[in-house]
Amino acid sequence: MDSSSTSGRKGGGLLLSPPPAAVVVAVAVLLSAAEAATEEPCYPRLFSFGDSLTDTGNFAFIYGNDSREPALRPPYGETFFHRATGRFSDGRLVVDFIADALGLPFVRPYLSGRTAGDFACGANFAVGGATALSPAFFRARGVPMADIVHLDMEMKWFRDLLKLLCPGDLAGCTGMMNQSLFLVGEIGGNDYNLPLLSGVSITKIRSFTPSVIAKISSTITELIGLGAKTLVVPGNLPIGCVPNYLMIFKSGKKEDYEPETGCLRWMNEFSQYHNKLLIDELEKLRKLHPDVAIIYADYYGAAMEVFLSPEQFGIEDPLTACCGGGGPYGVSGTARCGYGEYKVCDDPQKFGSWDGFHPSEAAYKAIAIGLLRGSYTQPSFATTTNSCPQITELSSSVEYKVLYDLTAELFYTEWLLPKMVSSTSGGGAGLLSPPAVVLAVAVVLSAAAAAAQALAAPCYLRVFSFGDSLADTGNLWPPYGETFFHRATGRCSDGRLIIDFIGLSPPAVVLAVAVVLSAAASRALAAPCYPRVFCFGDSLTDTGNIAFLYGNDSRRPSLWPPYGETFLHRATGRSSNGRLIIDFIAEAMGLPFVRPYWGGQTAGNFASGANFAVGGATALSPEFFRERGVPMDDDTVHLDMEMEWFRDLLGMLCTGGDMDGCKGMMNQSLFLVGEIGGNDYNLPLMSGMSIEKIRNFTPSVIAKISSIITELIGLGAKTLVVPGNIPIGCIPMYLMQFESDKKEDYEPKIGCLRWMNEFSQYHNKLLVDELENLRKLHPDVTIIYADYYGAAMEVFLSPERFGIEDPLVACCGGRGPYGVSASVRCGYGEYKVCDDPAKYASWDGFHPSEAAYKGIAIGLLQGSYTQPPIVSITNSCPQIIGLGIENPLAACCGGGGPYGVSETARCGHGEYKVCDDPQLYGSWDGYHPSEAVFKAIAIGLLRGSYTQAPLACPQIPELGSSVEYKRERMASSTSGRRGAAAVVLAAVAVLLSASQALAAPCYPRVFSFGDSLTDTGNIAFLYGNDSRRPTLWPPYGETFFHRATGRASNGRLIIDFIADALGLPFVRPYWSGRTAGDFAHGANFAVGGATALSPDFYRERGVHVRDTVHLDMEMNWFRDLLGLLCPDDLAGIYVRLLNSFSFHAPCHL
């Protein structure tokens, strides 16, 4: 045999691997395309009504190939869908961006579906040209009108759909209605457009508006009566900026135009009149229905952002149509887009209007951004939908196109072309390696994946099958199932059956490939929304600087236990028992805890930012206080010092001292400026100064904070979070020191000192006013006020929500009603520590507990205690996730009792019960941790200080929020397409090689030993369907894998997280493989119930045990595997072991 035909030999045919960049790009395309279809939506359905601004295709089903309507043909739809869909634009509409941001597929046009399953995610009833009022209304007023669709018709379609979704029981639809999002509009524009184009005066048209508003109101009222709880009601666009109107109503009078935009003033004033009436009506409806969220969507304001600052959105011609005739506005009386001698611009993304009447996709996207991320919803859509982690960055079709083109170019120029040259020149056989297959598949499917949301639903949504073993998908032992599933599934074959192959569909294939690629490469692609966080402040934010500055100062007990006992299990310098607000913010955004500035030495130490906060720091300098008679130590850190440290750090981070080169880093970083100022009041207060005199310091404190913000902005900061003061009247030390006999000195609901809380509010009021001034001075900068006061008050008003029992009592300190005393403090003197700090809001009498800090963080990240809402500003952050475990000592699955277990029932056996959310529980089944705890432990090992020595591997940056896994499991759980899951399983062997093209793992293999804490499936192969082992059956595995895999938990184990962080697939159970290729990435020898010692050891000591697996057996299997991997090659064995990572788990049941 010619050596050139044998791969892997010198001079042989190349097993080509594509360039890593190409794989990255291909993965990015597929990841972006599959994202919306795989996120779990906050609203499972979206129903929309309206006209051409919202119609996603109904017009096409009503009017078919009507030659009078060019929107049914190209060039409509060219930008995103690459075909005409019936949308009146070059691409997506506002409703598409909303659906995408909420994690839903594009909303199906009502007239395109037939069955209830077709509308599993909602329906769109909007039709191009629709009016709010019926044609009869207009005809009665002398306005000619064809028989067109109107709002009553759309509502009738909706009622018909309800009968389909809830046959014979409309009341049964209430739950669905409660959970759905309704978009009622934009509607009413054509009630004005059609008369206006018919020559009706604007004065007469104005008289129609109350009737239009009344019709919208009656529709909203009917929807509420049917059970709707969340409705978004858009206003009218600024019609004076519509190119066709600018052409038709062109004026020689300068005063007819708005000077800032060039839009027709009188027409925009009409739009505002409509919107004013609509807003007033919605306010009335809110009062009538206080339990319903009615959100006004300010399309006018959001659109005006485009006309006032088009460059923000990459738009160059906001008042010119991309597609149409000639003229200054890109339109003419003789040609229109798709009709006559029209012309199309080269780049629709640079135009505000698509066809002279309808916005371009770029403009629609800008409006959607204003609604989802800005201030153009009342109340704020982001706060109303703050359970939506899916409100993410809104991708542009240009980004899709660039990614696709770049992928294709890389594929051709860097891989295919050289291969073709090599083959034609006799350089080899041209065999394709798995990475090459990955890229080929990615290139072929990327265009399809980019439009995955628009793919038509499968012909049949469900398959029901009957028969015998030829169709039974559910033989019980290996080697059945070895070929495809690598485990016995109950199928009487080595792999799939006919029914499995029937279940595959092209959309499922596209989605499956995208899911696999996203899981394989997401770590190399997904970055935190802010790559760095820089923070300033005092002890509420200090994560360790105090330890480096003051060392073993006995006056600072926060440097010693019991500080830090809850989470970090050591004193870190944090003035609490565990994490602070900044820790929760960093964790929720996918960043490591922010390193104290004094804890680093090199630029690399601050790759994720730095914390300059120091316990005891003030905003103002010691000189300020001394001049006013307040004693102050010289070594007290103040805000100017922290800012000086920051400038020093910039000198280190900006190579060659080029501060301008740091602008990009500053632009992309998040700055937390505070909380600071509390000690400017605490120290004088504790020195006996009156609150009236201290109040005089506040303007100076605010001025100092303002000057620091201004300096940071000057250096390039674009996003700053500025916290206010906490309610100091609720601090136990102050409650003790300023105890009063006067009832009026206390707030009745919570028992906090009223006058002290009023002082905090005074500080916060001045800060809020100053931030508003700064926003006006720097409109391109996001300055977020973090309402620590309001978020903390949630803890004091409703402590039970946070698991807190004693909000005004210190966990660690002295005695007395508030858990503090004058002679004893936490860590100093004869102090005492409570049994469970999680039940206390205060840790040491001055500083909040971790539980309270977490409560405040939740209020900021998920609630309404930031202005503007941080959820809307950081909506490109999929990492903002739920914070923490609520039931650490209770089992999710088991019997009853305080610990969720009983002697008569166990998980999967007897009359057991399963909790609603396993992520809130520390234990899964009473013996084994939940996936949430396994993940927390893995984070501690991979990111924390719980390995000796630390693992050194470039792929261990974060475990993140498992967004990639959520996408993967949602792809199978929400779509219900078993074919997609089958494709994922079938493709894993080929596609996982993509991860090595992205970043080679530090360890190419993992070999693991242990028991049920590490067993990823061996128990299933050894013990099969043993009824005594419920881990082989549901509900085990329900959270992540959605099937029992043999893992003794609801989802992944520590070994799974480690493998994932190392860039490897999950470690294959030893008993599931047969060939050397099966173990290319290592093997897991752990078995549930395994012991370290043999059964003989116990029997000799009078302990009766069964013949169980033990560590010597696992080691024998490993030696057998080595013989398979490296036959007769001891040197090869040695090399493989040197390059492998071994994981030995502790032995537990």
The residues annotated as belonging to the active site are 52, 355, 358
Contact residues for 850 (Cβ-Cβ < 8 A; gap 6+): 566, 567, 576, 577, 578, 579, 580, 837, 838, 843
Tell me which residue of 571, 566, 649 sits closest to 615, measured CA to CA: 571
Q: How far apart are CA 1034 and CA 1039, in angstroms?
A: 11
Contact residues for 772 (Cβ-Cβ < 8 A; gap 6+): none
Do residues 161 and 108 lie in contact, with contact meaning Cβ atoms separated by under 8 Å? Answer: no
Q: How many residues belong to the chain?
A: 1149
Widest pairwise Cα distance in the chain:
107
**DSSP class of 615:** T
**DSSP class of 456:** P
Tell me which residue of 706, 849, 680, 855 sits closest to 770, measured CA to CA: 706
Q: How far apart are CA 843 and CA 848, in angstroms?
A: 5
Strands 887-891 and 921-923: parallel
Q: How far apart are CA 149 and CA 133, in angstroms?
A: 9
Q: Per DSSP, which regions of 317-390 are E strands? A: 317-321, 323-324, 343-344, 351-353, 377-378
**DSSP class of 90:** S
Contact residues for 54 (Cβ-Cβ < 8 A; gap 6+): 48, 93, 94, 95, 124, 126, 183, 185, 186
Task: Identify residue 277 by its one-letter amino acid code.
Answer: L
Write the DSSP string, 473-524. Answer: ----STTTTTTTTSS--S-SSSS--HHHHHT--HHHHHHHHHHHHHHHHHHH
Contact residues for 162 (Cβ-Cβ < 8 A; gap 6+): 170, 173, 226
Do residues 724 and 786 lie in contact, with contact meaning Cβ atoms separated by under 8 Å? Answer: yes
Task: Quote helix, strand, coil % in the chain, to nearest 5.
Answer: 45, 10, 45
Strands 1082-1084 and 913-914: unpaired
Q: How far apart are CA 182 and CA 294, in angstroms?
A: 10
Q: Tell me the Ramachandran region of residue 142: left when phi exceeds 0, alpha when psi lies from -120 to 50, beta otherwise.
A: left
> Cβ-count burial of 904 within 10 angstroms (0-12 exposed, 13-18 middle, 19+ buried)?
exposed
> Cβ-count burial of 830 within 10 angstroms (0-12 exposed, 13-18 middle, 19+ buried)?
exposed
- What string of H, E and C letters represents the secondary structure of 1073-1107? CCCHHHHCCEEECCCCCCECCCHHHHHCCCCCCCC
For the beta carbon of residue 1122, count every other beta carbon within 10 angstroms.
17
Contact residues for 136 (Cβ-Cβ < 8 A; gap 6+): none
Q: How far apart are CA 691 and CA 729, in angstroms?
A: 12
Q: How far apart are CA 201 and CA 189, in angstroms?
A: 15
Contact residues for 875 (Cβ-Cβ < 8 A; gap 6+): 101, 372, 373, 382, 391, 392, 393
Do residues 563 and 613 lie in contact, with contact meaning Cβ atoms separated by under 8 Å? Answer: no
How far apart, in Å, are the Cα atoms of 634 and each of 44, 554, 556, 558, 642?
59, 18, 16, 20, 15
Q: Compute CA 160 distance to the chain's CA centroid, rounded to the nearest angstrom.
A: 35
Q: Per DSSP, which regions of 928-1017 are E strands? A: 1005-1009
